[in-house]
Amino acid sequence: MLTFRSVKERDFEPLVKMATRSFAQYPLFAGPFRDHFAHSRQYLHFLDKLQRIQIRTALNHSLGLVGLENGKVVTAAFVNPVQQRLSVQDYIHNGGLALAPYLAKVPMMGFLKRLDEAESVVKQKVCDNDWFMSFLAVTPEAQGRHFGSEMINAGIVPELSKLHGGALALTTNTLANTHFYEHNQFEVVKHQLLTIGKAKVDNWGLIREF
C-alpha cells in the first residue's frame, strides 16, 4: 500500500527520470519526435529536456502528489483547475529556452498547439471548479502493480474531494491507457486524431465524476 504526500522540490530529478523513461515510447512524444533523431540516445536527451520543462512547469503551477513505497517515489500525478491556461511564456519562464536548438528540427510549436486544443475539448465538458489531470506516471519497475489506480482512487480523488471538486478530466493517447482509465471509473467523452508535424496521434478525452 502506498503513502502519499505533496510534491516537493527534491522530487524534481526523480520525476524527470520517471517521465523520460515512462514516456519514451508514448505516442504523444515518440510519434512527432522520435524519427527526427538518428539515434535513440539523442532522442532521449531531447525528451529529458522536454520533461524537465514540463515537470518544472507542473511544480510551479499545479497541485502534485507522489506515491511512495518504502520511502521511494514510485508514482506521481499533477492536476490543475480546469480554467487554468498555461501560455508559451509560462513554458519559457520554466526553462523552455533549453529547447531552442531543437526548434528547427522538431515540430515543437505544433505539439504545444495540438496538445492545448485536445485538452480544451475535454475541459469544455466539465465545470469551472473541476480539475484536469495533466500527468500520471509510474516508474517502469513498479508498473503492473496497480499503483496508477491507487494514485487515482486513494490519492488524487480524495484530495480533490476535499477541495470541493466534482469531476476530473484528462487526455490519453493509447487504447490501453483508455481501458485503464475506464476501469477506474472514467468515461470516454471524445476521440480525435491529432496531426503533429507528420505524425498522426490518437487522443482520447475522459472524465470521472465524484
Instruction: List per-residue pLDDT tens for the chain, 210 residues long.
Output: 899 999 999 999 999 999 999 999 999 999 999 999 999 999 999 999 999 999 999 999 999 999 999 999 999 999 999 999 888 899 999 999 999 999 999 999 999 999 999 999 999 999 989 999 999 999 999 999 999 999 999 999 999 999 988 999 999 999 999 999 999 999 999 999 999 999 999 999 999 999
pLDDT value, residue 88: 83
Distance of CA 39 to the CA centre of its chain: 25
Tell me the three cell numbers of residue 59.
511544480
pLDDT value, residue 35: 97
pLDDT value, residue 86: 87
What is the DSSP secondary structure assignment for residue 185, as one 8-state letter? Answer: T
Residues paired with residue 202 on neighbouring β-strands, in sequence order: 193
Four-CA torsion 38, 44, 46, 51, nearest 10 degrees = 160
C-alpha to C-alpha distance for 81 and 130, rounded to whole angstroms: 6
Helix and strand tally (H, E) in the chain?
A: 8, 7
pLDDT value, residue 110: 94
What pTM did the predictor assign?
0.96
**According to DSSP H, which parts of the chain are helical?**
12-22, 27-33, 40-61, 88-93, 108-123, 147-150, 157-162, 175-183
C-alpha to C-alpha distance for 32 and 82, rounded to whole angstroms: 26
pLDDT value, residue 87: 85
